[in-house]
Amino acid sequence: MTGQIAFARTIRALDADNFRAPKIGLFFAILLLAAWTWWLFTARIPQYETSTHLDLDHNSAAADFPPTTNIHPGQPAQIISPDGVKIQAQVENVRNEPTGTHVNFTLFPSTQ
């Protein structure tokens, strides 16, 4: 078989192939990569901070944290008392001081 005949057969075989399987595989690979990228940028990472001083009122709370704490107003919070009771809250006010960070919370009523 000469080189021209082999080349012609190769070209005919490539023209006859529609590459359906590789196209479908590439589509699902791109779809998986897009979903993974979306998850990467939208995943929530919980931040846990510990306070040794907490004042609880009926619908509000105040706590002191170390000065390196990264808490912002509007963040959801969960206060866990020493006896294990979980209270849902939201950060209302953050006051940074040289000795620490003072945070005020609004408490949400328990749904239990």
Question: Band of the pLDDT at 18, cuts 50, 70, 90?
Answer: confident
Higher pLDDT pick, 52 / 101: 101
As a whole number, mean pLDDT of residues 7-32 equals 87
- Residue-by-residue DSSP string for 10-65: HHHHHHH---HHHHHHHHHHHHHHHHHHHHHHH---------SEEEE-SSEEEEEE
Structure tokens at 34: 């897009």
Of 68, 69, 62, nearest to 92 by C-alpha is 62
CA distance 59 to 104: 11
User: How do residues 38-95 score in pLDDT, each as one tens digit?
Assistant: 999 998 888 888 887 889 888 899 999 998 888 999 999 998 877 888 899 999 999 9
